Amino acid sequence: MKKCIVSLLTIIFVSFLAQNIFALTPEEILNKVDDNEVFDTIKYSGVMTIKKGSRRRPRVKTFQAVARGKDKAYIEFTNPGDRGTKYLKLGDELWIKGTYAERADKISGHKLRDSMMGSDYSYEDTMDNEKLVDRYKATIAGAEKVSGHDCYELDLEAKVKEITYARLKIWVDKEQFVAMKIQYFALSGMLLKEMTVDKVKKINERYFPIKVRMVNKQRKDSYTLFEMKSIVLDEPVSESMFSKQQLEK
């Protein structure tokens, strides 16, 4: 009997030790998410379906987008009504040229947090391509299933002062290391938005979310479905795409 108890304790100890040796740290989990979702370059066709209120019909907007790193992005809308509206991101500045405008206008500072084209995404949300691990300190809060995926639940606190969301709560798929759900909080602790992933695609060696839903928690019956199609990742893109000359054509 004593031998059985000793053997059982040994098994439990070895199992506990193995779990701790091979367990990932919060920083390692964030690095794996960043490896999947942060790109060198991207080119794609996009569709935004915007729903405002229970009685209103959704609005659909289509666009072409290309981006390089965290500082350069170009978006041109193609749907009737918005065709010719263009956005150019250069560092911390965003330039916008409307359909009938002769020249582009610059947006910077807090205005970058305004709604993009009436959606539940801000300009910053749409063009964000910075590593989570550089901006947030993470702790593991637990584990939970999200849309059938076993996920790590992490709390993220901002490392830097100038940041839109002071705190995030994210649920990371334990196998693919995609952030399947993200909650965005203000400095006051108020829940501002919630993003969930509807579809993930394997592109080369990474798992990339291509269809996501953003819900504005400060509005009733408001959400935006954002979908990427014909995605090309980490291939050369022309520098001429990121110029005011291209924007004002």
Query: Where along the chain do its domains lie?
Result: 26-247
Task: Give the CA radius of gyration of the chain.
Answer: 21
Q: Of 100-109, 145-154, 198-207, which range is least confident?
A: 100-109
Q: Which amino acid is at 234?
A: D
CATH number attached to the domain at 26-247: 2.50.20.10
Q: Which residue has the tokens 């649920």?
A: 171
The whole-number pLDDT of residue 172 equals 97
What one-letter code names the amino acid at 19?
Answer: Q
Report pTM. 0.86
Mean pLDDT of the chain: 88
Q: Which of 18-22, 33-37, 97-101, 192-196 has the lowest mean pLDDT?
A: 18-22
At 69-86, the pLDDT tens digits run 999 999 999 999 999 999
